[in-house]
Amino acid sequence: MSISFSYADRPLNVRGKRKIKQLLLEVARLEGHEVGHLNYVYCSDEFLLDINRRFLQHDYYTDIVTFDLSHPGQMAIEGEIYISVDRVHENAESLKVPFAEELLRVVIHGLLHLIGYDDKSAAKRKKMRRAEDLYINFFETLR
């Protein structure tokens, strides 16, 4: 089991990686899964827009694109999660929350997608948001 943080074209010094990894492992466990391998890749808006266009045929900016690389029937979660640092900065400003909090929310959001959470409807977005809030608060209790 491993969790890695890297970057494509937008360097980002992620503080507290050990604690974030601990949280992600615990989220997976609490949701009835285990982590095989997760690779978080930080990038720019333009880099993620290109991924969104090429692989999802979506022509718009987004903060995250998650690729599920898990094997059918396997409990271990495998995935590659691309996060636009530009979009996270902009969202943090508009929501008036610290960048680190918004980044943590997006990191959790990617894992929740791999676990099976969906945000295609208002009700499902609300359920996902509640889970994000729960795990952000749980993060604060970790040492």
pLDDT in tens, 70-82: 988 887 999 999 9
Helix extents (H) in 9-121: 17-30, 45-56, 85-95, 99-115
**pTM score:** 0.95
| pLDDT (average), residues 9-24 | 92
Q: For residue 11, what pLDDT band results from cuts at 50, 70 and 90? A: confident
94-138, pLDDT tens digit by residue?
999 999 999 999 999 999 999 999 999 999 999 999 999 999 999
pLDDT of 57 reads: 92
pLDDT digits (tens, 9 = 90+) for 19-58: 999 999 999 999 999 999 999 999 999 999 999 999 999 9
Higher pLDDT, 11 or 102: 102
Q: Which residues contact 61 (CB under 8 A, 6 or more apart)?
A: 45, 48, 49, 52, 84, 87
